[in-house]
């Protein structure tokens, strides 16, 4: 039996530790916006159907017309489908997706409400790089290609799957259950599906593969896929992740012309003509540091396309730039670079017609930004949730974003124990709330600098 003195000793030791935990939790507060606007959800129920840690990297999100937000994970062993039920305020897993280990920004909603999922290997998995190799012309580039291709040796290829929410959502799943998907086949042998988009009539799915950079088209009605081959003439590694081949990560189908746009060689936008079955050059180019000023030959690629309610088209790049595109006039307008670090990792148009972006390289902490024509860029800071002493968490890497039917911005964490973050936009409390000399804001802020780790 524990004596009274021993019990008092335990209390004397534990209470200061709890105080330390609470104090450390307070340091997670984000000074860039109202902290109560941010929260997160686990991917399932602990000890029941919580998606395993090593398979919970959220790499795709989609807002469905039924009001739910669907997402897919990448991982060491499996890829899982899940959805956020706004009426339950929880995430519900929907089972393992075939034999996939990754879904990279490849979720589409069909005209009948079905989900179309492009799968492959885990694109975020580290690549084992060769240390010693022969010295020759473009030796690094040649060895990088061998190292990148090695995980795909003997790989059959990523699949296209079809999931029916009206029947699949009603079931209950464990981590061992398979997601009830229909297999539409492998678009390109030995490749992962890297990006997807619909044709204007939503009868054909266009996709890009990795690492061979093929464009394919899948006819939904007859379930036939056509491979149009590799559309990049060079294999470059512009980074910032040097172990990735520079392959564009997004497609956009112009509703006016039916052309499918993406970025091509040397950062030039290219468009695919479905009628002719071939790519055409454009007069638009991504801004960036090109090989003329560098010792390596590389160029930026497009990360994402976003269209707002007014029909204005935006594009984010691997160099961290935001562009406005005028496809009819074949013009680009560089709006700026919100962060010193590179990459616009994910981007979405809010219901407030602001563009929400997650920026930062893989080894840097991802930060949320927004852009609007009137106010320009606004730094919304890191994804730091503080509900201490109950829970507190900070997301270091975000790779997917979607906007819910009520304007909530959903952000998918691509860490080992990925969470689904929810950010609720709102009006700025004060016009000068980012100004540290604002006397009103100064009275609201803590006096202790330690409570704000990233001081303004």
The answer, yes or no, to whether residue 288 has pLDDT greater than 90, is no
**Peptide bond just before 362 cis, omega within 30 deg:** no
Q: Identify the band that residue 392 occupies on the pLDDT scale cut at 50, 70 and 90.
A: confident
Instruction: Kindly report, residue by residue over 138-154, the tens digit of the pLDDT.
Output: 888 899 999 999 999 99
Question: pLDDT at position 429, please?
Answer: 59
Question: pLDDT at position 56, please?
Answer: 96
Mean pLDDT of 185-210: 97
- Mean pLDDT lowest for which of 7-11, 62-66, 245-249? 7-11
Q: Identify the band that residue 178 occupies on the pLDDT scale cut at 50, 70 and 90.
A: very high
Question: pLDDT at position 291, please?
Answer: 67
Question: pLDDT at position 438, please?
Answer: 40
Question: pLDDT at position 374, please?
Answer: 87
Q: pTM here?
A: 0.88
The percentage of residues in the chain with a pLDDT greater than 70, rounded to a whole number, is 85
- Strands 80-85 vs 57-63: parallel, antiparallel or unpaired: unpaired
Q: What radius of gyration, in Å, describes the C-alpha atoms of the chain?
A: 23
Question: pLDDT at position 242, please?
Answer: 78
Give me the chain's average pLDDT, please. 87
Q: Domains in the chain, start-ordered, CATH in brackets?
A: 34-442 (2.130.10.10)
The answer, yes or no, to whether residue 226 has pLDDT greater than 90, is yes
Q: Identify the band that residue 13 occupies on the pLDDT scale cut at 50, 70 and 90.
A: very low
Residue 205 near residue 221, CB atoms below 8 Å: no
- Mean pLDDT lowest for which of 46-55, 149-158, 207-216, 359-368? 359-368
Range picked from 36-40, 288-292, 323-327 for highest mean pLDDT: 323-327
Q: Identify the band that residue 382 occupies on the pLDDT scale cut at 50, 70 and 90.
A: confident
Mean pLDDT of 209-237: 96
Instruction: Kindly report, residue by residue over 313-357, the tens digit of the pLDDT.
Output: 999 999 999 999 999 999 999 999 999 999 999 999 999 989 999
The answer, yes or no, to whether residue 38 has pLDDT greater than 60, is yes
Question: pLDDT at position 387, please?
Answer: 86
Q: Identify the band that residue 213 occupies on the pLDDT scale cut at 50, 70 and 90.
A: very high
């Amino acid at each position: 039996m524990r004596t009274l003195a021993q019990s008092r000793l335990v209390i004397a030791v534990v209470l200061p530790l709890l105080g330390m935990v609470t104090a450390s939790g307070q340091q997670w507060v984000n000074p860039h916006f109202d902290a109560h606007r941010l929260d997160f959800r686990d991917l399932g129920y602990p000890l029941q159907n919580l998606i395993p840690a090593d398979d919970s990297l959220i790499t795709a999100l989609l807002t469905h017309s039924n009001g739910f937000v669907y997402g897919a994970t990448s991982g060491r062993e499996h890829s899982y489908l899940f959805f956020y039920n706004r009426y339950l305020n929880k995430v519900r897993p929907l089972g393992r997706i075939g034999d996939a280990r990754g879904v990279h920004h490849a979720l589409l909603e069909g005209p009948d409400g079905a989900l179309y999922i492009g799968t492959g290997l885990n694109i975020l998995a580290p690549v084992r790089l060769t240390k010693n190799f022969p010295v020759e012309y473009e030796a690094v580039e040649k060895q990088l290609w061998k190292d990148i291709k090695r995980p795909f040796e003997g790989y059959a290829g990523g699949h296209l799957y079809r999931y029916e929410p009206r029947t699949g959502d009603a079931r209950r799943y464990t981590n061992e259950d398979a997601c009830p998907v229909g297999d539409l086949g492998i678009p390109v042998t030995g490749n992962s599906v890297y990006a997807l988009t619909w044709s204007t009539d939503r009868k054909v799915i266009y996709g890009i593969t990795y690492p061979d950079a093929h464009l394919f088209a899948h006819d939904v009605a007859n379930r036939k896929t056509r491979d149009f081959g590799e559309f990049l003439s060079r294999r470059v590694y512009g980074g910032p992740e040097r172990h990735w081949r520079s392959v564009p990560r997004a497609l956009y189908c112009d509703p006016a012309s039916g052309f499918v746009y993406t970025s091509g060689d040397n950062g030039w936008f290219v468009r695919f003509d479905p009628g002719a079955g071939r790519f055409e050059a454009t007069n638009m180019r991504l801004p960036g540091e090109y090989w003329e000023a560098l010792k390596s030959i590389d160029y930026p690629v497009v990360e994402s396309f976003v269209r707002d309610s007014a029909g204005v088209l935006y594009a984010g790049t691997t160099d961290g730039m935001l562009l406005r595109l005028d496809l009819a006039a074949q013009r680009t307008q560089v709006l700026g670079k919100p962060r010193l670090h590179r990459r616009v990792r994910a981007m979405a148009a809010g219901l407030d017609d602001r563009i929400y972006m997650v920026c930062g390289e893989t080894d840097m902490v991802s930060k949320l930004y927004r852009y609007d024509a009137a106010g320009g860029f606004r730094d919304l800071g890191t994804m730091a949730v503080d509900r201490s002493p109950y829970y507190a968490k900070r997301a270091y890497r975000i790779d997917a974003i979607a906007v819910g039917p009520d304007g909530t911005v959903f952000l998918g964490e691509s860490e080992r124990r990925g969470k689904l973050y929810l950010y609720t936009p709102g009006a700025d409390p004060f016009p000068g709330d980012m100004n540290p000399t604002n006397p009103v804001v100064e009275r609201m802020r803590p006096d202790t600098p330690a409570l704000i780790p990233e001081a303004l």
